[in-house]
Structure 1
Amino acid sequence: MIHFRTATLGILLLAACVPMSDGNGLDGPGMIRLTAERPEGAAPDSCWGKKTSPAIIETVEREVLLKPAQVTADGVIQQPAVYQRESVQEIVQERVDTWFQVPCAADLTPEFVSSLQRALAARNIYHGPVNGEMTMRTRAAVRRFQAPDGFDSDILTIATARKLGLVAVERQPAE
């Protein structure tokens, strides 16, 4: 029995060490993750993710004037100016957070996920079993479907679910 507990603990520790990827960690040049936070004005019962694009920092070489040139009244340079080169890092582009709405965990029922798998299979993107489980294969298909629209992640967005016909498009009230 001791060996079983030790093995289980080892597996749990190893799982904790696996780097997060795809929807939960680094995803290309930015980080895409689900979050308990919401953007300002979001409905309290809505679920969100955030894509953080990192700031772009560039190293720039500059010449800094240490001592100005000494010039006589008639314009003759007695001593040239003294400059020093220095490297400075500048932020070329600020970090950008982009919010995206996702189906809440309670909405990802086996029936919903089965519909997602069928919708992706109908578009020849998903080639696995329709089992209602959000497997790695299902997530990979979600990524392939979303990537052409500029969202390279395996996290299903509400926009993608609408595009697949899985979530109703909210009707705008008549004016």
Structure 2
Amino acid sequence: MAVLLLLTLNACVAAAPFEGVGRSAPPGAPAGTCWDSVIIPARIETVTEQVLVSPEVTSPDGTVLAPATFSSHSRQQITRPREETYFETPCPEVMTPEYIASLQRALAARDLYSGLITATLNAETRAAIRSYQAGFGIDSATLSLRAARSLGLSAVDLPGST
């Protein structure tokens, strides 16, 4: 009976508000930092070219006896390679419900978030994060450390301080 009760209670527990935040760091990143990445997929286009199969045949007086013939050849061409850009994020232990509520209030103060202060990273909060970070060139719904600092949510490293 106790096992059944425990299993039932575990099924009712909500996911952590910071689930999915703070993936492994890129090579050379300082220990103890958390990172995420933005992947821009490669752009592949189909290029079709007309290739001369046989040139036109003309008579000595310039009359065309047989027109030139062409063949269409299509191929795939990468016009933009895949890019992966890493950005530092607040680590999961920082992303407490209180921190997320402060994030929602900071985004609301900038007219980017109009939902309830739920202290969860819901879809509306993530959309507001993406919108705010666009100004930093980060197209992601994961909060970057740069955005968190500019919102006044995370400490800023000052030059000469350690």
Q: If the length of structure 1 is used for normalisation, what is the TM-score?
A: 0.63
Describe how 1:40-51 pairs up with structure 2 within 5 A: 40-51=27-38
1:49–1:100 Cα contact (<8 Å) kept: yes
Residue 144 (str. 1) matches residue 131 (str. 2):
yes
1:107 alignment counterpart = 94
1:130 alignment counterpart = 117
Q: 1:84 to 1:47 in 2, by over 3 A?
A: same
1:169 alignment counterpart = 156
SS class of match (2:141): coil
Q: 1:48 to 1:119 in 2, by over 3 A?
A: same
Query: One-letter code of the match for 1:157?
Result: S
Q: How many angstroms apart in 1 are the aligned matches of 2:22 and 2:99?
A: 21
1:34–1:50 Cα contact (<8 Å) kept: no
**Deviation of residue 83 (structure 1)?**
4.8
Q: If the length of structure 2 is used for normalisation, what is the TM-score?
A: 0.67
**Deviation of residue 86 (structure 1)?**
0.8
Q: 1:157 to 1:63 in 2, by over 3 A?
A: same
Describe how 1:1-175 pairs up with structure 2 within 5 A: 36-64=23-51, 83-173=70-160
User: As a proportion of its length, which structure holds more helix?
Assistant: 1
Instruction: Count the aligned residue pairs.
Output: 140
Give me the identity figure in percent. Answer: 42
SS class of match (1:41): coil
1:35–1:50 Cα contact (<8 Å) kept: no
- The unaligned stretches of length 5 or more in structure 2 are 1-7, 9-19, 58-65
Q: CA RMSD in A?
A: 3.4
Larger RCO (CA within 8 A; separation ≥ 6): 2
